[in-house]
Structure 1
Amino acid sequence: MKRIYLPFILSFLFFQTFGQQKDSVSNERLRKQHIYRVKWYIDAPIIVGGLVSNYYGVRVLKGKKGIDEATVLTLGPEDVPKFDRGATRQNPAFAETAMHMSDITLTTTVILPGLLLFDKKIRQDALRIGVIYLTTISLMSNCYSWGVGRINRYRPYVYNPNESIERRTRNGSKNSFYGGHAAAAATCSFFAAKVFADYHKGSKLVPVLYGLAVIPPVLTAYFRYKAGMHFPSDLIVGTIAGAAIGIVVPELHKPRKKNKNMSFDPVIGPYQGFSMTYKF
């Protein structure tokens, strides 16, 4: 997860650069029609506050101590439910390569939404979408850093007797749940599919793109599994959570008819999100 920020920043700059360009075939009517609405009093605190909050969340993750050797030596694959047990039997020699591949697939997926800028309709709102993307990434990152920081689940390699004792006892060995790489990849790929779908309602490409959106997180999850970093259950939860964030955040930015009885407010602090109030 620590390598997500540089490609994300590059992706945002890509949105901003294209957003400032004028399309020769655009007209005033298209400029006035916006699929999404940015509310700076909500998005700005989430983005800025999210950066600060995530910084401390990552510190919590890094501050979690490893497992003592005596405890590790009592653990084995049989201590893991059958559904997840295969993750404890991966080849340690392939772990480093698998982790590197998962970083590559994640980085590629983070900048994937930049392809939306080749669409004329979407390019009209490039900067607006870039802000929403920042909000989405901020929420996803904090859900991961603060969620995992408070849950202790040993990584699969801890149970693998073929792994070195150094790896089994190192810091970060308790951060298995849930799969952060898979969650981030799902957030980015489903964000791209959701935005395209909202700008091209009824297009036959929409179901195709949603189907293709599954590939990046699944591929990323596969390499995390082969690296012994996560159990299948961790990766499934991470993928579902990431996909939900990637879809829900753009949906919440759609203009809606005002309902005086309902209000949404940002929640900033150790956790990032929204609070909904409904008056009967």
Structure 2
Amino acid sequence: MEISVCDTANLKKPICKVRVEKEKAGRGHFDSGSRIAEAYARTPPPAEIFKRCSLRATFFIIFAPNKVPYMAWILRPVVLFVLIAGIAQQAQAQSDSTLPSRKEKIYNVNWKVELPVGVAALCISPFGFQALDRTSMFDKEDALALNPADINAFDRPGAFTDPAKFTISQHRSDLFLNISVLSPLVLALDKRVRKDWLDLISMYLVAHTFDNAVYFAAAFPIRRARPYIYNPEVPLDAKVGIAKSNSFFSGHVSFAATSTFFLAKVYTDYHGIKGWKRVGLFAAAAVPPSLVGVYRMRAGKHFRTDVLTGLLVGGASGILVPELHRNLRKHKQLSLSPYYSGEGSGVAVTIKL
């Protein structure tokens, strides 16, 4: 690890330099070794250091190929999680200081391309849903072969929901889905936001296009019977036909979450809302799709894991698409490069703070 604090304005040499030299690399461990500190006489006051200096840290994450394999599986995700969390925290701090002024656009959108692509993708999607329904067809033999005992304990209660509540639950889930999909319209009430209405419509369609793509990528290859197919109280005839084995994951919840999280993301970006208030708005955005999921489960359409996955995928779609369009100034704070040595390989991450 090398951490250098440099006076980028006036000094040609580092004010303070600490270097950790590699001695030994173990699988899943950071390099460790001796530290050599070099101090220079011309050291400005601490306030000036933080005012006029930059901080750079380089981390070498090394996974040797033949040492302590069981520890590697434990340490790899831990190390990567800590690293990613630190990078995300720093990126958030930098973004706070690089938000464009109110006269500038928050998002960089090429609506002449994204708008027609989004419209075309959503116009084609009904054909995808029809093909998915045909792919997930069940016959009597398929239905009779199912056993509720084969369902994992977390999802198993979904196979025994009351059939008498299926219809009303279906209507309520559709109601909250429609409310969720239309919820971004409230952005039109905000003068600061509606001036970019064409960009936002384009982004909204792209967010749903992305969400649909992820949904189809999972729903077509994964065959999972819907919960009511397992239910002994449901007649056999109702378990036969199309759209019986496309339980994973919940498209209704995913579509609803894409819409509400898109609303929360755009609103907080335009108004620069941070901290607990931002957390509260995103928590509120999770309520409508969660209600969709509750009633989809009561209707016997999805298991708990189907609903949770749909919420995560939809929320990610609604947040990531606007984030990728953020109109922030270019930065070079983060760089990645492969690392190779005789004892292992990994990735070198350099962060300029």
**TM-score, normalised by the number of residues in structure 2:** 0.61
User: Counterparts in 2 of 1:66-77, with a 5 A limit?
Assistant: 66-77=137-148
State how 1:27-106 maps to structure 2 within 5 Å.
Answer: 32-40=103-111, 42-44=113-115, 46-51=117-122, 53-106=124-177
* 1:199 maps onto 2:270 in alignment: yes
Alignment check: 8 A CA contact 2:115 2:201 kept: no
Question: Which sections of structure 2, spanning at least 5 residues, go unmatched?
Answer: 1-100, 333-353
Q: State the distance in 2 between where 1:119 and 1:44 align.
A: 22
Bigger share in helix: 1
More strand by share: 2
Q: Which residue of 1 aligns with 2:257?
A: 186
CA RMSD of aligned residues (A): 2.2
Written as runs of structure 1 = structure 2, the 5 A alignment for 1:150-169 is: 150-169=221-240
- Tell me how far apart the structure 2 counterparts of residues 193 and 48 of structure 1 sit (CA, whole Å): 22
Look up the match of 2:32.
none
With over 3 angstroms needed to count, the CA separation of the structure-2 counterparts of 1:52 and 1:258, relative to structure 1, is: farther
Distance 1:51-1:202 versus aligned 2 partners, 3 A rule: closer
User: Equivalent of 1:115, from 152, 161, 186?
Assistant: 186
TM-superposition CA deviations, 1:62-103 (whole Å, max 9, x none): 222522212322323212111100100001111111111110
Question: 2:83 maps to what in 1?
Answer: none
Q: Which amino acid aligns with 2:170?
A: M
Measure, in 1, the Cα distance between the counterparts of 2:316 and 2:158: 25
Deviations 1:201-225 (A, max 9, x none): 1366422211101101110000000
Structure 1 distance, partners of 2:288, 2:194, is 23
Give 5+ residue unaligned stretches, structure 1.
Answer: 1-28, 261-280
Name whichever of 65-74 and 244-253 sits farther off.
65-74
**Contact 2:119–2:205 (CA under 8 A) maintained in structure 1:** no
Query: After TM superposition, what 4+ stretches of structure 1 lie above 3 angstroms from structure 2?
Result: 202-205, 256-260
Distance (Å, rounded) in 1 between the aligned partners of 2:127 and 2:178:
22
After superposing the two structures, state which structure 1 stretch, 59-68 or 192-201, moved more. 59-68
CA distance in 1, matches of 2:206, 2:135: 27
- Preserved CA contact (<8 Å) 1:51 1:138: yes
Task: Provide the rounded CA distance (Å) in 1 between the counterparts of 2:258 and 2:174.
Answer: 15
**Counterparts in 2 of 1:65 and 1:151: CA distance versus 1, 3 Å:** closer
Per-residue CA distance 1:162-187 (angstroms, 9 max, x = gap):
11112212210011000111101111
CA contact (8 A) 1:50 1:139 kept: no
**Is the CA contact 1:140–1:187 (under 8 Å) kept in the aligned structure 2?**
yes
Q: Note if contact 1:57-1:142 (Cα within 8 Å) is conserved in structure 2.
A: no
- 273, 284, 303: which one aligns with 1:231: 303
Q: Is the Cα–Cα contact under 8 Å of residues 46 and 139 in structure 1 kept in the other structure?
A: no
Aligned to 2:207: 136
Residue 245 of structure 1: aligned partner: 317
Q: CA deviation at 1:197?
A: 0.9
Post-superposition Cα deviations, 1:208-264, rounded to whole Å, max 9, x if no partner, equal 21110110111000000001101101111110000000000001111244689xxxx
Instruction: Specify the code of the residue in structure 2 equivalent to 1:235.
Output: V
Q: Distance in 1 between matches of 2:142 and 2:110?
A: 50
Partners of 1:200 and 1:65 lie apart in 2 by 44
Q: 1:83 aligns to what SS in structure 2?
A: coil
1:125 corresponds in structure 2 to 196
Amino acid across the alignment from 2:128: G
Give the AA of the match of 1:216: P
Matched, 1:209 2:281: yes
Counterpart contact for 1:76–1:160, Cα < 8 Å: no
Is the CA contact (8 Å cut-off) linking 1:57 and 1:146 kept in structure 2?
no
The one-letter code matched in structure 2 to 1:196 is Y
Amino acid at match of 1:110: V
| CA distance in structure 2 between the aligned counterparts of 1:255 and 1:84, rounded to whole angstroms | 42
Q: Deviations over 1:139-195 (max 9, x none)?
A: 222322343122211111111111111221221001100011110111111100000
Residues 155 and 228 in structure 1, CA contact (< 8 A), matched pair in contact too: yes
Size of the aligned set, in residue pairs, is: 231
CA distance in 2, matches of 1:217, 1:44: 25
Counterpart for residue 17 of structure 1: none
Amino acid paired to 2:165: F
